[in-house]
């Protein structure tokens, strides 16, 4: 395979964005006689004039050797070993060129469905590039030589705004079904199109996502919805009928709640763009709310028994698909269980407004208005109440027919 080698000046890359830690690792590996490149998303985003979230390194130095060279490192992973090199402000992921060979010790292990169970056979750059998932992620960049190495036309795909699999899409998806979610994520993030030939295969093979560990699916869901492209991710997930795989107990009411989701995800993307903190628990509270809403009849005459029962049932079922950490399931339940408190006021209202979860619950309450117009008056009252001083809060409570004396 003869790659196209392109000078980085052709793209006017902002090299100031490249992590100094990443550069120091590559420099040290070069001095030790190894090849080393920035690979994948970091190269892609630099070419696209985006600020890369992180930089991954690939080298012909094996994990054990990397570990010896960098004392501030550790080997992780069983399915695919890689090295995390740790700095005070950053962790740089460093991997070794993978091979297609099945003859080496510790080689590729594949199950009867073609799923890769273990992939610790090391090879050359030419072999490694064939193992990468998409052409746009198969670019190798040597920042010291200023060269971008392109084996499969990744640069052309970036220009054409395409997400194209390397090799046969069906085989690549069966090797690792998470590639379905990755394809959707890159299409959403970059506003690209997924290659047409892959759509039919994704529709046919999407059920294999159930065979992936809930921990991996959870991490991919966070990347889809907490990286500034939640709205587009939701639209593409629906287009490829993958949303119903990730959230099956919501899919039967999905269309009915489309406006709720779109409003919520627009706000999520806005918060991301202005640098506001996003809570994984909040996004799951949004994604799972339709079932709680429907079963409890919270909008009209809430059935508290059904309300609490549905909270328990929905969170338990979702854990089978996405293993949400306990600290976030607790947050989700708090946000939901506070919702009825916004539709009534009483002696505990002042204390509720000082609750640790009040702000998150209030933000959630505001988003409910997109599907519950009847909340308009309550939202206006709580909006005023939330920012009022103590005396004003007492007046507002009294205006609702509740008689409170000032302390």
CATH of the domain at 59: 3.30.460.10
- Of 118, 141, 160, the position where a domain reaches its end is 160
Q: In the block, which residue shows the tokens 């995390």?
A: 84
Report yes or no: 69 and 32 within 8 Å, Cβ to Cβ. yes
Q: Is residue 357 part of a domain?
A: yes
Question: For 200-241, how does the pLDDT look when each residue is reduced to its tens digit (9 = 90+)?
Answer: 999 999 999 999 999 999 999 999 999 999 999 999 999 999
- Of 119, 139, 160, the position where a domain reaches its end is 160
Q: Is residue 115 part of a domain?
A: yes
Q: What DSSP designation does 162 have?
A: E
Residues 156 and 262 occupy one common structural domain = no
Q: Is residue 132 part of a domain?
A: yes
Chain length of the chain? 407
The overall average pLDDT reported for the chain is 91
Angle, in degrees to the nearest 10, between helices 358-368 and 326-338: 60
Q: What is the pLDDT of residue 13?
A: 94
Report yes or no: 63 and 82 within 8 Å, Cβ to Cβ. yes
In terms of residue numbers, what domain contains 114? 1-160
Confidence of residue 114 (pLDDT cuts 50, 70, 90): low
Confidence of residue 12 (pLDDT cuts 50, 70, 90): very high
Q: What is the pLDDT of residue 285?
A: 96
Residues 382 and 260 occupy one common structural domain = yes
Q: What is the pLDDT of residue 107?
A: 53
Q: What is the pLDDT of residue 294?
A: 87
Q: Is residue 237 part of a domain?
A: no
Q: What is the pLDDT of residue 250?
A: 76
Residues 265 and 156 occupy one common structural domain = no
Q: Is residue 230 part of a domain?
A: no
**Total domain count for the chain?**
2
> Which of 153, 151, 93 lies closest to 124, judged by CA?
151
> 94 pairs with which residues across the strands?
57, 83
Residue 380 has pLDDT above 80, yes or no: yes
Report yes or no: 37 and 25 within 8 Å, Cβ to Cβ. no
Which residues are part of the catalytic machinery?
54, 56, 133
Report yes or no: 65 and 73 within 8 Å, Cβ to Cβ. no
Q: Is residue 71 part of a domain?
A: yes
Q: Is residue 197 part of a domain?
A: no
Question: For 319-341, how does the pLDDT look when each residue is reduced to its tens digit (9 = 90+)?
Answer: 999 999 999 999 999 999 999 99
Q: Tell me the longest C-alpha to C-alpha distance in the chain.
A: 82
> Which of 70, 37, 41 lies closest to 53, judged by CA?
41
Question: For 257-293, how does the pLDDT look when each residue is reduced to its tens digit (9 = 90+)?
Answer: 999 999 999 999 999 999 999 999 999 999 999 989 9
CATH of the domain at 270: 1.10.3090.10
Residues 254 and 130 occupy one common structural domain = no
pTM of the shown model = 0.89
Residue 345 has pLDDT above 90, yes or no: no
Q: Average of pLDDT values for 288-314? A: 89
Residues 139 and 20 occupy one common structural domain = yes
Residues 8 and 116 occupy one common structural domain = yes
**Least confident window among 91-95, 302-306, 346-350, 353-357:** 346-350
> What CA–CA distance (Å, rounded) separates 252 from 250?
6
Q: Is residue 344 part of a domain?
A: yes
Higher per-residue confidence, 348 vs 147 = 147
- Of 139, 160, 181, the position where a domain reaches its end is 160
Higher per-residue confidence, 83 vs 248 = 83
Question: For 56-75, how does the pLDDT look when each residue is reduced to its tens digit (9 = 90+)?
Answer: 999 999 999 999 999 999 99
Q: What is the pLDDT of residue 63?
A: 93
C-alpha dist (Å) from residue 161 to 155, 156, 173, 276, 391: 10, 8, 21, 29, 57
Percent residues over pLDDT 90 in the chain: 78
């Amino acid at each position: 395979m003869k790659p196209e080698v392109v000078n980085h000046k052709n793209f006017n890359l902002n090299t100031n964005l490249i992590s100094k830690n990443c550069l120091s690792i590559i420099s040290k590996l070069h001095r030790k006689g190894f090849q080393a490149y920035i690979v994948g998303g970091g190269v892609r985003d630099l070419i696209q004039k985006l600020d890369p979230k992180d930089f991954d390194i690939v080298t012909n130095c094996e994990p054990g050797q990397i570990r010896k060279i960098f004392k501030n490192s550790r080997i992780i992973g069983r399915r695919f070993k890689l090295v995390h090199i740790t700095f005070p402000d950053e962790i740089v992921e460093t991997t070794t060129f993978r091979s297609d060979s099945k003859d080496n010790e510790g080689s590729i292990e594949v199950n009867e469905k073609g799923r890769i169970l273990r992939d610790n056979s090391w090879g050359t750059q030419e072999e490694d590039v064939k193992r990468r998932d998409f052409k746009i992620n198969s670019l190798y960049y040597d920042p010291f030589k200023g060269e971008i190495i392109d084996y499969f036309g990744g640069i052309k795909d970036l220009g054409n705004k395409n997400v194209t699999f390397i090799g046969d899409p069906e085989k690549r998806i069966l090797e690792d079904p998470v590639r379905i979610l990755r394809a959707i994520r890159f299409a959403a993030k970059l506003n690209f199109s997924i290659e047409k030939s892959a759509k039919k295969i994704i529709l046919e093979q999407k059920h294999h996502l159930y065979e992936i560990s809930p921990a991996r699916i959870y991490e991919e869901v966070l990347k889809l919805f907490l990286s500034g492209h939640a709205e587009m991710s939701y639209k593409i997930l629906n287009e490829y009928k993958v949303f119903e795989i990730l959230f099956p107990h919501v899919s039967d009411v999905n269309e009915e709640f489309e406006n709720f989701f779109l409003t919520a995800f627009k706000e999520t993307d806005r918060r991301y763009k202005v640098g506001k903190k996003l809570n994984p628990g909040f996004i799951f509270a949004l994604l799972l709310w339709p079932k709680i809403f429907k079963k409890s009849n919270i909008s009209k005459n809430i059935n508290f028994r059904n309300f609490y029962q549905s909270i328990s049932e929905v969170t338990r079922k979702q854990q089978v698909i996405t293993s949400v950490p306990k600290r976030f399931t607790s947050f989700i339940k708090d946000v939901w269980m506070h919702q009825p408190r916004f539709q009534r006021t009483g002696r505990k209202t002042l204390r509720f407004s000082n609750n640790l979860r009040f702000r998150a619950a209030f933000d959630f309450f505001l988003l409910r208005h997109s599907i519950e117009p009847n909340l308009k008056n309550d939202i206006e009252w709580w909006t005023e109440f939330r920012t009022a001083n103590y005396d004003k809060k007492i007046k507002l409570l009294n205006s609702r027919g509740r008689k409170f004396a000032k302390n």
